[in-house]
Chain A
C-alpha cells in the first residue's frame, strides 16, 4: 500500500509539472486560436534566463521570477504583434502553424549559438531537498510546482471571470466582431493574451530549471506531453488542462512502476488516442468554433 501511495504521489507531482507547462498553451489556443508550436522553446528560453539569473546574478530561483516572467511576457506579446497578427490579417490558418514552427527552430538555434549544445545545470537552491509527508517522499521543488500550478489555474480562472480585462478576453474569444463593436481593441487583447500565456510558461521555467537540466532541446521534451494534455483536457479549457495533466501524470507514473518504464509513453499516448476517438472535444472541451478565423 505504501508503495502504491508513493507511485500515486509521484504521478500527482508529475501532473503538477505537466499542468504548469500546459496552462499557457491552452490559454493562447482558447483565445487567440493559434497553436503555438514555439511554446516549448519559450520554456527553454525561460530556463536559460533562470540559469543566468541564478549563476550570473546570484539570485534564488524564486527571485528570478521578477526577471524571467516579464521577459517571457514581452516575448509572447511581441510574437503575437509582429509574427502572428500580420498572418491573421492574411487569413490563412496554416501559415500561423509554419510561423510558430519556424520561430521554434530559430529559438533552438539561437540557444545553440549562445549556450552551445552542453547542458546547463541551474543550482537546485534547496529545491531538491526531500520532504517526508506521511508514507510518501517527494522533493520540495515538486510540491512548489504543484502548488504554483494550482494557484496559476485558480488565478487565471478568477482573472477571466471577474475582471473587466478578463471579460474582454473572453468576449474576443466568443465573438471577435462583436468585441470590436464594444470598443475592445482586439489586437491588443490578442497580444496581451499571448503575453500572459508566455508569462505562465515563464513561471514554469523558473521552477523547472533547478530540477531538470537545461539544453536547447529542453522545451521539446516537456511540450510534446503538453500538447497531449491540452487536447485531452479540451482545447482552450484551463481547468481541463489541469485535470488532464494530473491524469497523464498518474498514468505515466502507475504504468512506469507496475508495467515497465518503457511502456509509459505507450500508455499515455494510448489513452490520448482513445479519448480522441471517443470524445474528440476532450474532457472539458466544447465544440470548436473557428468560424471567425476564416471568412
Chain B
C-alpha cells in the first residue's frame, strides 16, 4: 500500500532522513522504533506530505505521491494523528470531530462515522458540546484519535499517542489503539512504549540517526539483543 524508496528529507538545510526505505502492506500494523531525534516523527510527517523529500520516492497505492502536500495526502486516505493532540481549542468536540471528516470520501457518511467512532469512545460522547480546549490531556488525546478516524483513512498513522499522559490514561490510549488494530485497519505507529507497541505490531523498523538499521517481524525484534538493550531496557 505504502512504499518509501531511499527517501532523504529534512527541514531547510538540516537533513534528517537518509535513504529511508520501508513499506506498509494493507491490513498491516507497522511500528517505527528509535531514540529521540532518530527521525521517526519526520518519517511520518514526510509520508503525510508535510515535509517534502529531497531525494527518493514515495508510492501510495501505486501512485507516486512524493510531491503531494498534506491536504492532498488526506484526500488519498492517509491520516496522521499528530504528536501533542493539535485540536482546534475554540471549537466544540463535535466540531473537531466533524473537521476530521473534511476529506471528500468521508463527508457523505460523516454522521454514520460519528456514531461508530463515539461507540469506541464513550467518554468523548459525554464531552461533545464542550470546547476542546477545556478538556484534560487524556480526553484531548482521545478526541485527536477519534478525529483521525473520522476521515475513514486507508492508512492511519499515530505519532506518540501516549506522550505526556498519566500512566492510567496511557493504558486507556493503548486499549483504544489495540481496538483500532483489531478492526483490521492499516496502521503505522510511532510510540515511546516500544515493548507494548511491538506486541501489537506485525513488523517494526529501527531508525538510528535517520537511517533504518533493522527491519523485521515484531517477534524477532523483541528477541533481538540490540533492540532489547537499546529500546526495551532489558
Q: Which residues of A contact B (CB under 8 A)?
A: 164, 167-168, 170-171, 174-175, 177-186
Q: Is the pair A180, B70 in contact by a Cβ cutoff of 8 Å?
A: yes
Contact between B86 and A170, CB atoms less than 8 A apart = no
Q: A178-B87, A181-B82 are in contact. List 20 more A-B contacts (CB 8 A).
A: A164-B98, A167-B99, A168-B99, A168-B102, A170-B88, A170-B91, A174-B90, A178-B86, A180-B70, A181-B48, A181-B50, A181-B74, A182-B71, A182-B100, A183-B70, A183-B71, A183-B75, A183-B102, A183-B104, A183-B151
Kindly name the residue among B50, B79, B88 whose own CB sees the greatest number of chain A CB atoms within 10 A: B88
In the complex, A164→B98 CA distance in Å? 9
Nearest Cβ on chain B to A173's Cβ, whole angstroms: 9
Whether A175 lies near B87 (C-beta < 8 A) is yes
Q: Is B103 an interface residue (CB 8 A)?
A: yes
Chain B residues with Cβ under 8 A from A167's Cβ? Answer: 91, 95, 98-99
Contact between chains at A183 and B82 (CB < 8 Å): no
| Complex Cα–Cα for A177 and B82 (A) | 10
- Give the docked Cα–Cα distance between A164 and B104 (Å): 12
Chain A CB within 8 A of B206 CB: no
Cβ of B89 < 8 Å from any Cβ of A? yes
B80: Cβ under 8 A from any A Cβ: yes
B91–A184 CB distance below 8 A? no
A184 and B88 contact, CB distance less than 8 A: no
Chain A residues whose C-beta falls within 8 Å of the C-beta of B104 in the assembled complex: 183
Whether A171 contacts B91 by the Cβ 8 Å rule is: yes
Q: How far is the CA of A186 from the CA of B79 in the complex (A)?
A: 16
A177 to B81, CA, bound (A): 12
Q: What are the interface flags for B119-157 relative to A under an 8 Å C-beta threshold, 1 for contact and 0 otherwise?
A: 000000000000000000000000000010001000000
